[in-house]
Amino acid sequence: MTAKRSALYIRVSHEEQAMNGYSLQAQENRLRQYALEHNYQIVECYRDEGISARSRPGRRKEFARMLQDVQAGRIDCILFIKLDRWFRNVSDFYTYQAILDKYNVVWETTEEDYNTNTAQGRLYLNIKLSIAQNESDTTSERINFVFADKIKRGEVISGKLPLGYSIKDKHIVPDEKAPIIRDVFNYYLKTKSIRQTMIYLAEKHGIVRAYPTITSYRTKSVCRKCCKLR
């Protein structure tokens, strides 16, 4: 009998790895053990690291690569430890389940038991998916509430700032390069040319930035507010 060609799929967000111990290596070890016990042939291990459960499937690079191998007929079965490693969104699950069905690919979990061949089994699957989606939605609402409160207090919610700004006491403040940014904005207001502004920044201030970066400077409202250009 030909061994079932199996793909190992692993997903973990940074928060889950820190809080729950769902490390990539721990998941991979369990999946390899399961494949060995069932005499499955491992085709490939697909590892999406630092990917939230709410990330759309199209943003999971390894998931997309695995799907290409499914469509190329290289995989018979996909293994993951729990359903929430796979999807936490009911509609996404059934969208990609249709693709797996088309190519006769099944999936198995090492830590949970599902039987989608019966009405009762499908009901249980839908309940698990709904619970997982609700947990994900609740977490998202909690995070959005925290961010909204921080924004209301004028606190920073991201550590990435444009040139001319730094973080002090959780607030964005102009730094020693702020005068350069004011000068650049004033120059842009006169010329209305991003390309000329890019050249001006390089020639006068010795700062080289690509065209998309200069465009982002123009559109960042935080810069206009701090520079008082509005």
Q: Where does a domain end: 137, 156, 185?
A: 137
**Total structural domains within the chain:** 2
For residues 170 and 108, membership in a common domain is answered with no
pTM value is 0.58
Angle at Cα 91 formed by Cα 107 and Cα 57, nearest 5°?
65
Q: Give yes or no for a contact between 188 and 200, defined as CB atoms under 8 angstroms apart.
A: no
Question: Is 125 part of a structural domain of the chain?
Answer: yes
For residues 209 and 124, membership in a common domain is answered with no
Question: Is 105 part of a structural domain of the chain?
Answer: yes
The per-residue pLDDT for 131 is 81
For residues 172 and 98, membership in a common domain is answered with no
Q: 62 versus 15: which is more confidently predicted? A: 62
The per-residue pLDDT for 122 is 79
SS3 letters across 147-212: HHHHHHCCCCCCCCCCCCEEEECCEEEECCCHHHHHHHHHHHHHHCCHHHHHHHHHHHHCCCCCHH
For residues 124 and 61, membership in a common domain is answered with yes
Tens-place pLDDT, residues 36-84: 999 999 999 999 987 765 566 667 899 999 999 999 999 999 999 988 8
Average pLDDT value for residue range 159-183: 77
For residues 37 and 94, membership in a common domain is answered with yes
Question: Is 160 part of a structural domain of the chain?
Answer: no
Tens-place pLDDT, residues 108-142: 999 988 877 678 777 888 888 888 777 766 766 67
| β-pairing verdict for 165-168 and 171-174 | antiparallel
Question: Is 158 part of a structural domain of the chain?
Answer: no
Tens-place pLDDT, residues 195-230: 888 888 888 888 887 777 777 665 554 444 444 433
For residues 52 and 98, membership in a common domain is answered with yes
Q: Give yes or no for a contact between 75 and 105, defined as CB atoms under 8 angstroms apart.
A: yes
Torsion of CA 1, 85, 96, 64, to 10 degrees: -90
* Residue 157 structure tokens: 């919610």
* Residue 127 structure tokens: 């309940």
Enclosing domain of residue 201: 165-227
For residues 11 and 115, membership in a common domain is answered with yes
Question: Is 151 part of a structural domain of the chain?
Answer: no
For residues 170 and 133, membership in a common domain is answered with no
Alpha-carbon span 7 to 15, nearest angstrom: 25
Average pLDDT value for residue range 24-32: 92
